[in-house]
Amino acid sequence: MARPPLTIALAQQSDQGTPPANLAACEAAIREAAARGATLVLLQELHNGAYFCQREDPACFELAEPIPGPTTAHFARLAAELGVVIVGSLFERRASGLYHNTAVVLDNDGRLAGIYRKMHIPDDPGYYEKFYFTPGDLGFEPIDTAVGRLGVLVCWDQWYPEAARLMALAGAELLLYPTAIGWDPSDDAEEQTRQLEAWIGIQRGHAIANALPVAVCNRIGVEPDPSGTTAGAQFWGHSFVCGPQGELLAQAQGDGPELLLAEIDRDRTETVRRLWPFLRDRRIDAYADLLRRYRD
């Protein structure tokens, strides 16, 4: 029996200056999304504040919170009230000295359906995440919700085909990526174009290789480096949703906040996989070297 289409909303937002203001902006976007018919809402990475990983500052650990905690409680009430599934992204304080970059999934009855701790942690100029985040230890496990089995990954995970594949092999029906990625403002236009196209292209590739819809919600706007040592980060937006053959279903612009809605055919994966049976033809007997760092 065919399932009805899934309407998903992506809340591409800029930093509002304070955690309460950011949380209020998230709530406003979720309420608008529900009013427009969305039953699944995806927020961007670390949506409660500015992207603090531009510098290494021990004081930033004060921004972390437990899970369950105040933000999950807030979203749980909202999810139950509106009957929507909410996917958020938090700085998790697991224990003293143990912190994660963690996605949370609130089901449409307000239940905390599950969490995913970011597995791939970058350490690059302006993205000093290894200082703050312990790599995830929950593996690549989809989370069951009222709208389907969600394969939730976070930002830097989006560059790794292994992560998308493992979510697909575990039965994910949709891949979701809360994201915070941007340019160094000093990059020239050609380099910016190359980076943006690579970012879109790799994730469309995950959709094609696994015959799964993919939704990516990115930040937008220029955020200064609090240390003043760099030009800051220019988050490029361009949040998008694509179908199981990589076809773009909806894409936001790169010039400001936007609530992006798209309709997903939840039964199309079966049709596509019958025509392009990549899972059938995988040579799992020949992939042992994937467990090696590099073949010297």
Catalytically annotated residues: 45, 118, 155
DSSP 60-99: GGGG-B-SSSHHHHHHHHHHHHHT-EEEEEEEEEEETTEE
- How far apart CA 162 and CA 165 sit, in angstroms, is 5
Bridge partner list, 221: 235
- How far apart CA 132 and CA 252 sit, in angstroms, is 30
Bridge partner list, 217: 178
**Cβ neighbours around 65 below 10 Å, total:** 16
Which residues are CB-contacts of 166 (< 8 A; sequence separation ≥ 6)?
A: 139, 140
- How far apart CA 94 and CA 169 sit, in angstroms, is 28
Give the per-residue SS3 of 200-247. HHHHHHHHHHHCCCEEEECCEEEECCCCCCCCCEEEECCCEEECCCCC
Say how far residue 224 (Cα) sits from the centre of its chain: 22
Cβ(289)–Cβ(268) under 8 Å? Answer: no
Bridge partner list, 9: 41, 261
- How far apart CA 181 and CA 192 sit, in angstroms, is 12
